[in-house]
Amino acid sequence: MKEVKNELYCRECGHTHITEHREYECPDCGSSNVYNCSFITCDCGETVYLSGHTIECECGKLYNGFGQELAPVEEWEPEDRYGCFGPQNACYDY
């Protein structure tokens, strides 16, 4: 299980902060005009944003929205494939 971190982007000052959990205020300017998205770091070193049900890294690894690695799609049941590739967006916007 990979460590899920949070990236906070402040629309006010334009800074990006990596935090443990989602934050509601910018650590720099205190603005609440912020955008949070959780992410993990793949074994290949890529940052994978958990912005959906199923996220594919550039290296081909699949993760779910909790950052858990999934089996390759070829091993899935057809119903599971269908259910997991809908247009989902788990990124939250404040």
List residues near Zn ion by CB under 5 A.
Answer: 10, 12-13, 26, 28-29, 31, 42, 44, 46, 57, 59, 61
Q: Is 45 left (phi over 0), alpha (psi -120 to 50) or beta?
A: left
For the CB of residue 31, give the shortest distance to Zn ion in the complex, in Å.
5
**Beta carbon nearer to Zn ion, 26 or 55:** 26
For the CB of residue 11, give the shortest distance to Zn ion in the complex, in Å.
8
For the CB of residue 60, give the shortest distance to Zn ion in the complex, in Å.
7
- How would you label 42-62 residue by residue, b for 16+ Cβ within 10 Å and e otherwise? beeeeebebebbbbebeeebb
